[in-house]
Amino acid sequence: MKDMIGQSYGWDEDIQRSYARESLTGKLVLVHGVAVGVITLSDWGEQLHLSWLAIVPEMQRQGLGGNLIQYCKQQATKLYKFC
């Protein structure tokens, strides 16, 4: 992957570490104390970016993803940002 990114954009180790650190700092989604997913929000200056959203298959199609998108919007509103 490093070669592909390097050819396309140029490789900057500090930037790549920053992206990796940010993308690995998600919050667990718990339902009745059981981890059923993860969400990662990234601050991009004027906007809060939903970087990662994953729900275990048995909890999908129950509205949880939509609720998490609403959570993202609420957090952005609190911070006066777009989402």
Cα angle, residue 81 at apex, residues 11 and 79 outer, rounded to 5°: 110
With 80 as the cut, is the pLDDT of residue 38 above it? yes
pTM as predicted: 0.68
Strand intervals (E) in the chain: 27-31, 34-43, 48-55
pLDDT in tens, 17-33: 777 776 667 889 999 99
pLDDT of residue 23: 61
Which domains, from first to last, does the chain contain?
A: 2-78 (3.40.630.30)
pLDDT of residue 24: 64
Q: With bands split at pLDDT 50, 70 and 90, how would you rate the model's confidence at 9? A: confident
pLDDT of residue 1: 64
Higher model confidence: residue 36 or residue 45?
36
